[in-house]
Amino acid sequence: MASPIHLKAHRFPPPPLLLLLSLLVVAAAALESEATASTASHQTDAADTTDTAFFIFGDSTVDTGNNNYIKTIPENRADYKPYGQASFFGGPTGRFSNGRVIVDFIAEYANLPAIPPFMQPSADYSRGVNFASGGGGVLPETNQEQAIDLPTQLKNFDKVREKLFEKFGEMRAQEIVSEAVYFISIGSNDYMGGYLGNPATRQLHPPEEFVGMVIGNLTNAIQELYKRGGRKFGFLSLGPLGCLPALRAANPNSNAGDGGCFEDASGLAQAHNNAVNGILLSLQHIFKGFKYSNSNFFEWLAQRMSNPSNYGFKDGVNACCGSGPYSGVFTCGGKQEAEYKLCENPEDHVWWDSFHPTEKIHEQFAKALWDGPPSAVGPHNLQDLFFDKDKATIADLVDGTVEQDFMY
């Protein structure tokens, strides 16, 4: 990893919200005719209830095996031991964890089967698809040609949508798409590798401008999914990136009073989360039927690192698998061709490897997102979204012309 520059967290304000909102208003008006044209020919029987599908977009936090099928670097794969050593799958699957990841638990809570990776041959897409890719970013330039970026994941969703229309017909397929929950967990790689690890990008863009680029592209992705019929969204916000074992190990000021956390990376994550919160709050007013679930993963994870014993852990700082300071050198696994240490009990650790948390963290956060109270998860929890009885009808989609829903 390239040596990161020294930025101050308080210099990372969110991008100008009014500018982003003005872009949303313009985009919303453009969506009106397209949304009407794509749904006017569909009719839905209100008495016909269906199971909710689950579509997943993101990076290694939610990748369940897509990178097994693409050409990439060893660091972007997890289909080898000791990954997956927890007994649930019986071995490595491509998940960047010692076992399951957050979307596996969410699918279980929703009474869904394991959601297949998009790249998996002959996968059944009718109950949902996972498009996530380890190393992927919101921006296509992030880890280019080494991962599946978010714009490409959206193109893959279009392919799935076409197959659903071919298999089930327009009415049923549109119903699946409009009733589905869309879960998005992405952005860390844009800031860690795409910005802090890229001197050329840092010279071109001040931090607040780069955050604005990421937020703008993420907002566009949400709008594209809405245009295709998506109405219910779940989000995994960014954690304190500077406190990952890898960034603690790479921090030149690791003896600082903050316990070695790299303040610059965490500042970018905070600015990103603040901007996303503002965008989501606005989208629910601009787009008819738009519902979302979000929470403060930054503080949630920081608490478990600072006070691990309060949450059933013994170590909130050091990775279970890796080498060097904090086990933060990313050497976990046979394909890394380097020696590494492996802890005896991953359940004692917040961190599994240099960048990724243990299955236990994934499960705890999945539970919090699933049925957490409004004070912790909002404005909806995922249980509300999956078992929402106020199902959107085609009339809602047609009548929901964004013009009449603007909040000026």
Instruction: Report the DSSP beta bridge partners of residue 128.
Output: 54
Asked if 356 is an active-site residue, the reply is: yes
> Residues 42, 59, 60, 315: which is the catalytic one?
60
Average pLDDT over residues 367-389: 91
Looking at the predicted structure, is the pLDDT value of residue 400 above 60? no
| Alpha-carbon radius of gyration of the chain | 21
In percent, the amount of the chain with pLDDT more than 70 equals 80
H runs (alpha helix) in 169-244: 170-179, 188-191, 199-204, 207-227
Task: Determine the pLDDT at residue 216.
Answer: 98
Rounded (5°) CA angle 363-364-368: 115
In whole angstroms, give the CA distance from residue 161 to residue 235.
21
Contacts of 22 (CB under 8 A, 6+ apart): none
In whole angstroms, give the CA distance from residue 70 to residue 94.
12
* Span 200-242, pLDDT tens digits: 999 999 999 999 999 999 999 999 999 999 999 999 999 999 9
Confidence of residue 140 (pLDDT cuts 50, 70, 90): very high
In whole angstroms, give the CA distance from residue 97 to residue 284.
33
Structure tokens at 215: 């937020």
Task: Determine the pLDDT at residue 333.
Answer: 85
Average pLDDT over residues 339-347: 95
* Span 166-193, pLDDT tens digits: 999 999 999 999 999 999 999 999 999 9
Looking at the predicted structure, is the pLDDT value of residue 45 above 90? no
Structure tokens at 248: 């603690």
Contacts of 91 (CB under 8 A, 6+ apart): 81, 84
Residue-wise over 150-187: b if at least 16 C-beta within 10 A, else e?
A: bbebbebbeebbeebbeeeeeebbbbbbbbbbbbbbbb
Asked if 60 is an active-site residue, the reply is: yes
Task: Determine the pLDDT at residue 59.
Answer: 98
Can you give the pTM of this predicted structure?
0.86
> Residues 237, 327, 353, 380: which is the catalytic one?
353
Asked if 178 is an active-site residue, the reply is: no
* Span 73-102, pLDDT tens digits: 999 999 999 999 987 888 999 999 999 999
Confidence of residue 376 (pLDDT cuts 50, 70, 90): confident
In percent, the amount of the chain with pLDDT more than 90 equals 75
Which of 181-185, 200-204, 321-325, 401-405 has the least mean pLDDT?
401-405
Confidence of residue 5 (pLDDT cuts 50, 70, 90): very low
Contacts of 20 (CB under 8 A, 6+ apart): 212, 215, 216, 219, 275, 278, 279
Q: Which residue has the higher pLDDT, 89 or 107?
A: 107
Confidence of residue 244 (pLDDT cuts 50, 70, 90): very high
> Residues 42, 349, 356, 380: which is the catalytic one?
356
Task: Determine the pLDDT at residue 12.
Answer: 46
pLDDT averaged over every residue in the chain: 85
Task: Determine the pLDDT at residue 255.
Answer: 58
Looking only at the bridges linking them, the beta strands covering 315-319 and 321-322 are unpaired
Burial of 117 (0-12, 13-18, 19+ CB in 10 A): buried
Tell me the C-alpha to C-alpha distance, in Å, between residue 361 and each of 101, 185, 278, 355: 9, 15, 27, 13
Average pLDDT over residues 373-382: 91
Q: Which residue has the higher pLDDT, 45 or 154?
A: 154
Task: Determine the pLDDT at residue 42.
Answer: 36
Looking at the predicted structure, is the pLDDT value of residue 38 above 50? no
Counting every residue, how long is the chain? Answer: 408
Looking at the predicted structure, is the pLDDT value of residue 395 above 60? no
Task: Determine the pLDDT at residue 31.
Answer: 53
Tell me the C-alpha to C-alpha distance, in Å, between residue 137 and each of 26, 58, 133, 140, 270: 25, 8, 9, 7, 17
